[in-house]
């Protein structure tokens, strides 16, 4: 599978409304830090795809430069001051415990320090000989047995905002404008949901500030939330592609060019394979290329075999690059697992709940 499909991450937005209710219980921080690390360590020309929600852009994060300065890099044969390392881990919001049990913790026993970085699947054990790093090994939490010897390890903060006074940016700022394409699903709806989250957050903050004045509550964790108008204004400076059922409903998003795609409903079939094959044969006679999506590899292969029994030329493919650049082959059925690529301007594909008939139609539209 091409590398572009391996470097796909899900970035879960922080819960801005209940952020102060249970900071320590936020189990999604490690997933966010994993994405931030991938973006920071990304090499030139290496594609990275991130799936997220609109309110993730509202959250103020430490800048990439700030995280890069704060991270700890340890290598075998290098030197480290154990006392300074303990202090820095505590500043990065790692919790000191007797024996680590989960991400975001560290433990010290003599010249051995165990650390469970948020960005790693397993914790690491660092053994020191005086101030020299003698060995670095990953290990299993339950058995405490070593898993793999490592030459080096990079430890990222255990929180996106680990101290006050940090330079904060939007998650959007992690993506360079000249190398990023934004894909938006129903931009007007994205704007409305973002505005709703923003309004609820600021109302909640006003209530907390009143409680602070009355001495019933104290807040120590910093939190910066950007306004929807500012974020969309910044998004308009990026290249983007938006999908919407009503092209005039784009809100604050600027539209530079529009393309029309006509959608058509599909028969429910009700487990009737004969009805499916009848439609497939009709589409084949019309010269369409058809792509069928299946939930698993086994089912996809079986479906391709069954279609061939009905004199329908079909094959299973898990390679998204197969036949790329080849001549157009009308009337052929392709069965794939999970993902689909539309290689031509005119296709007719079975997409579980409907047919998608796409015919490119370009027209100029004034900026909204």
pLDDT tens digits, one per residue of 23-36? 544 578 888 999 99
* DSSP state string for 76-104: TT-B--HHHHHHHHHHTTPEE-SS--STT
Model confidence pLDDT, tens digit, residues 57-84: 998 899 999 999 889 999 989 999 999 9
Tokens of 202: 């600021």
Mean pLDDT for 291-305 is 85
Kind of pairing, strands 112-115 and 105-109?
antiparallel
Q: How far apart are CA 110 and CA 76, in angstroms?
A: 18
Q: Which residue matches tokens 């959250």?
A: 59
Helix, strand, coil abundance in the chain, percent, nearest 5 = 30, 25, 45
Q: How far apart are CA 71 and CA 55, in angstroms?
A: 26
Model confidence pLDDT, tens digit, residues 178-213: 999 999 999 999 999 999 988 888 888 777 777 666
pLDDT band at 319 (very low <50, low <70, confident <90, very high): low
Closest CA to 126 of 154, 98, 158: 154
pLDDT band at 170 (very low <50, low <70, confident <90, very high): very high
The answer to whether residues 160 and 61 touch, using CB atoms and an 8 Å cutoff, is: yes
Q: What is the pLDDT of residue 340?
A: 37
Q: What percent of the chain has pLDDT over 90?
A: 32
Tell me: pLDDT of 171 over 90: yes
Q: What is the pLDDT of residue 367?
A: 40
The answer to whether residues 141 and 157 touch, using CB atoms and an 8 Å cutoff, is: no
């Amino acid at each position: 599978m091409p590398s572009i499909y391996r470097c796909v991450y899900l970035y879960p937005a922080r819960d801005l409304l209940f952020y102060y209710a249970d900071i320590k219980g936020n189990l999604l921080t490690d997933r966010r830090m994993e994405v931030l690390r991938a973006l920071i360590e990304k090499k030139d020309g290496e594609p990275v795809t991130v799936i997220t929600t609109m309110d993730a852009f509202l959250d103020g994060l430490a800048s990439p430069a700030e995280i890069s300065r704060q991270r700890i890099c340890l290598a075998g044969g290098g030197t480290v001051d154990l006392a300074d390392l303990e202090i820095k881990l505590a500043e990065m919001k790692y919790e000191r415990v007797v024996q680590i049990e989960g991400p975001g913790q560290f433990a010290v026993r003599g010249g051995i320090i165990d650390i469970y970085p948020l960005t790693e699947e397993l914790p690491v054990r660092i053994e020191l000989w005086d101030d020299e790093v003698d060995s670095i090994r990953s290990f299993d939490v339950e058995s405490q047995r070593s898993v793999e010897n490592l030459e080096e390890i990079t430890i990222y903060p255990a929180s996106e905002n680990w101290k006050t006074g940090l330079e904060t940016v939007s998650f959007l700022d992690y993506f360079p404008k000249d190398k990023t394409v934004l894909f938006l699903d129903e931009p007007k709806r994205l704007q409305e949901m973002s505005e709703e989250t923003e309004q609820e957050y600021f109302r909640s903050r006003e209530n907390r500030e009143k409680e602070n004045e009355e001495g019933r509550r104290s807040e120590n964790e910093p939190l910066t939330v950007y306004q929807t108008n500012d974020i969309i204004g910044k998004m308009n400076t990026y290249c983007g592609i938006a999908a919407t059922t009503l092209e005039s409903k784009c809100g604050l998003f600027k539209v530079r060019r529009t393309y029309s795609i006509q959608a058509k409903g599909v028969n429910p079939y009700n487990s009737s394979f004969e009805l499916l094959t009848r439609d497939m044969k009709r589409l084949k006679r019309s010269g369409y290329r058809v792509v069928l999506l299946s939930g698993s590899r086994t089912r996809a292969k079986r479906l391709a075999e069954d279609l061939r029994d009905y004199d329908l030329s079909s094959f299973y493919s898990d390679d998204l690059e197969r036949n790329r650049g080849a001549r157009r082959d009308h009337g052929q059925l392709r069965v794939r697992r999970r993902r689909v690529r539309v290689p031509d301007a005119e296709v007719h594909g079975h997409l579980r709940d409907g047919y998608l008939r796409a015919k490119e139609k370009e027209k100029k539209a004034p900026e909204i």
